[in-house]
Amino acid sequence: MRRLEIERKFPVEVFEDPRAKEIKFLRCIQCGRCTGGCPAAYVFDDFSPRKVILKLLEGEIDDLLRKDLIWHCGQCYTCHMRCPRGNSPATAVLILRELALERGYSIGKVKEIADQCGRLMWAKGVNFYGEGSRELSDEAICEVQEVLKQSGYKSFLEMLGVDLP
């Protein structure tokens, strides 16, 4: 058994994310309840939400960002619900994924999805059903496009090398 050596210089990018405000990363006792109920841990031998939090606390964030591990999570939030200490590996995964992309790692993990989304049903919010449960007007599409531009999404996609219509 090895002792958990908590890194004194926590990765601020993760700890200062607005989503981390309510999450008690430092209270993790490595009990493993998160991994016990994790569907992704059942499917992928190397995945364990407990280890994601351990690496985060040990400050080995670069390792997490460069490798595949964080992309195995299925975002079911069972870990988030069951953690007896108010921790949330699922939220940590989301923050880390975003950080990985920002730093130019793991782009292959999302490029294909971004490509697909642009060409499939979400492109214009139109469905396959003529009467239109869901059909955005041209005006609404323009507004959403402007929001995407203003919020930096266009440049995010450019960084991924995705060219949306």
Partner 1 sequence: MNEERHYLFKSCVLSAYYPKAEDCLRAIFDELGVEYVNDPAHSSCTGHGYHAGIYPLKTALEVNRRNFSLVKDSNCDDIVASCPTSYAMLKEMSTLLDEPIGVYHGSEVIYKYRDEISEILKYNLEGMRVVTHHGCHFAKIFYNDVTVGDAERPVLLDEVATSLGAEVIDYSERSLCCGMGFRHLLLDQEYCKKITLRKLENIKKADPDLILVHCPGCLLTLDRFQVILEKETGIELQIPVLNYTELITLLLGSNPDAIGAASHHIRLDNLIKRIRK
Binding site for partner 1 (CB under 8 A): 17-19, 39-40, 42-44, 71-72, 74-78, 80-82, 94, 97-98, 101-102, 109-110, 112-114, 116-117, 121-122, 125, 127-129, 132-137, 139-140, 143-144, 147-148, 150-153, 156, 160
Q: Which residue, 62 or 68, is less far from partner 1 as judged by CB?
A: 68
Beta carbon of residue 2, minimum distance to partner 1 (angstroms, whole number): 30
For residues 13 and 56, give the distance between their C-alpha atoms in angstroms, rounded to a whole number. 11
Q: Which residue, 60 or 77, is less far from partner 1 as judged by CB?
A: 77
For residues 49 and 36, give the distance between their C-alpha atoms in angstroms, rounded to a whole number. 9
> What is the SS3 assignment for 32?
coil
Beta carbon of residue 1, minimum distance to partner 1 (angstroms, whole number): 30
Beta carbon of residue 105, minimum distance to partner 1 (angstroms, whole number): 12
**Maximum separation of any 2 CA atoms in the chain, in Å:** 63
Beta carbon of residue 6, minimum distance to partner 1 (angstroms, whole number): 26
Burial of 43 (0-12, 13-18, 19+ CB in 10 A): exposed
Structure tokens at 23: 């999450």
Q: Which residue, 104 or 152, is less far from partner 1 as judged by CB?
A: 152
Q: Which residue, 7 or 116, is less far from partner 1 as judged by CB?
A: 116
CA 42 to each of CA 4, 29, 72: distance values in angstroms, whole numbers, following the listed order: 25, 22, 11
